[in-house]
Amino acid sequence: MPSDAPALRKIIHLDCDCFYAAVEMRDNPALAEIPIAIGGSVERRGVVATCNYPAREYGIHSAMPMAQALKRCPHLTVIPNDMPKYKAVAQDVFAIYRELTQRIEPLSLDEAYLDVTGVSAYQGSATLMAEAIRARVAQEVGITVSAGVAPNKFLAKIASDWHKPDGLCVVPPEAIDEFVRALPVTKLHGVGPRTAEKLAALGIETCTDVRKRTLPELVGHFGVFGKRLYELSQGIDERPVKVHRERKSVSTEQTYPQDLPTLAACHGELGALIDDLTRRYRRLDPPPGVRGAMVKIKFNDFTQTTVEHAGSVVDEAPFAALLDAGWQRGRRPVRLLGVGYRLAEPAPAQQLALF
């Protein structure tokens, strides 16, 4: 008799290695062996968007202030972002993915999930598919892609990072239990620094430690996320690959070359931010309803706060009030301001507009 059990998914997670840096090294091979970072200049308070592996040996990483990166590696070569070029390369990479399947969930320009369940190419082997994709991207685009193959998104994403750069890791169904048991909880989807600290305080460092706790215990400590922890520690993740994603917000932000010293100086920059936000919002097709406003502030000591207002937004008043409230939390010079809308009704499902 045929089984009623659902077929296991075959998921490939693909992640281009140090993508922006890889494109620059492809176009200028002389950069390949020296530390490089892509991002904004020190003069404009820029941050590292990505860096190559020689730079990572100095402890440089994404989102690090460029000034700090240069302190760690004074001979670091800094290259400005060239987003039009990176988007064009990403188009070439995703075109290769789409020849295999249309069930693609882009996460960014350089990262995506592919659901290849039921795909007959390469004898139906997700491993062979991943190998073929990696070979084609290397040959036709000139950069490397690391891949993880597993029965769900959670495991596939972890696997893609297992043998970076230019690696492939496969987690077949029969190996899930062994693979998951030794995983640090910091690898689990949704476990950030604060949750990791709370888990460590409870003596929970690996998935094996999580498994020693009952579901009611975990829910008691972590609420709804406790159930998620329980499932992930067993290697369970039922999230489907989402070809379409609902937009929940639209925002813009600006890092200033010089700190804004006072609240009044911050208010002086607010109008330009709101104008840019309005332009971004009007580009949505169709523009969805707005259910709230938000202001993000990063102070000169790199502490950060976000303040939100629930309700319709018809003028600049909510943003001004949010800025006042947020600034009071730090009362010090500001290096970054951001504004955004929370969107009410999701826009009709659209494929992510990465390009």
Could you tell me if 32 and 163 lie in one domain? yes
Could you tell me if 206 and 154 lie in one domain? no
- How many domains does one find in the chain? 3
Residue 181's CATH number: 1.10.150.20
CA distance 183 to 163: 15
Which residue from 157, 159, 191 is spatially nearest to 175, judged by alpha carbons?
159
- How does pLDDT run across 229-258, given as a tens digit for each residue? 999 999 999 999 988 777 788 999 988 888
239 occurs within a structural domain: no
For range 155-176, the mean pLDDT: 94
Could you tell me if 153 and 181 lie in one domain? no
- 């693609």: which residue's tokens? 104
pLDDT tier, 59 (very low <50, low <70, confident <90, very high otherwise): very high
> Are 148 and 131 contacting, i.e. CB atoms less than 8 angstroms apart?
no
Task: Output the pLDDT for position 7.
Answer: 61
Could you tell me if 186 and 265 lie in one domain? no
Q: What is the share, in percent, of the chain residues with pLDDT greater than 90? A: 70
Residue 353 predicted with pLDDT over 50: no
- Last residue of a domain, which of 153, 171, 189? 171
Give the CA count within 13 Å in the CB-facing half-sphere of 240: 6
Instruction: Identify the active-site residue in 24, 111, 205, 308.
Output: 111
Cis peptide before 165 (omega within 30 of 0): yes
82 is known to lie in a ligand binding site: no
Vertex 176, ends 202 and 118: CA angle to 5°?
135
Could you tell me if 184 and 311 lie in one domain? no
44 vs 219, which has greater pLDDT?
219
DSSP 3-state of 7: coil
CA distance 156 to 114: 10
238 occurs within a structural domain: no
For range 277-302, the mean pLDDT: 87
- Last residue of a domain, which of 233, 253, 274? 233
Could you tell me if 272 and 335 lie in one domain? yes
- Last residue of a domain, which of 171, 192, 221? 171
CA distance 85 to 91: 10
pLDDT tier, 193 (very low <50, low <70, confident <90, very high otherwise): confident
For range 326-342, the mean pLDDT: 93
- How does pLDDT run across 65-112, given as a tens digit for each residue? 899 999 999 999 999 999 999 999 999 999 999 999 999 999 989 999
Out of 3-7, 96-100, 218-222, 267-271, least confident range: 3-7
pTM, to two decimals: 0.76
Could you tell me if 118 and 188 lie in one domain? no
Residue 53's CATH number: 3.30.70.270
pLDDT tier, 345 (very low <50, low <70, confident <90, very high otherwise): low
CA distance 5 to 323: 54
Out of 258-272, 317-331, 334-348, least confident range: 334-348
Q: What single-letter amino acid sits at 56?
A: R
* Segments forming the whole domain that contains residue 190: 177-233
289 vs 324, which has greater pLDDT?
324
Residue 337's CATH number: 3.30.1490.100
DSSP line for 190-237: T--HHHHHHHHHTT--BHHHHHTS-HHHHHHHHTHHHHHHHHHHTT--
301 is known to lie in a ligand binding site: no
1 occurs within a structural domain: no
Could you tell me if 195 and 262 lie in one domain? no
Could you tell me if 150 and 223 lie in one domain? no
User: Is position 105 annotated as part of the catalytic site?
Assistant: no
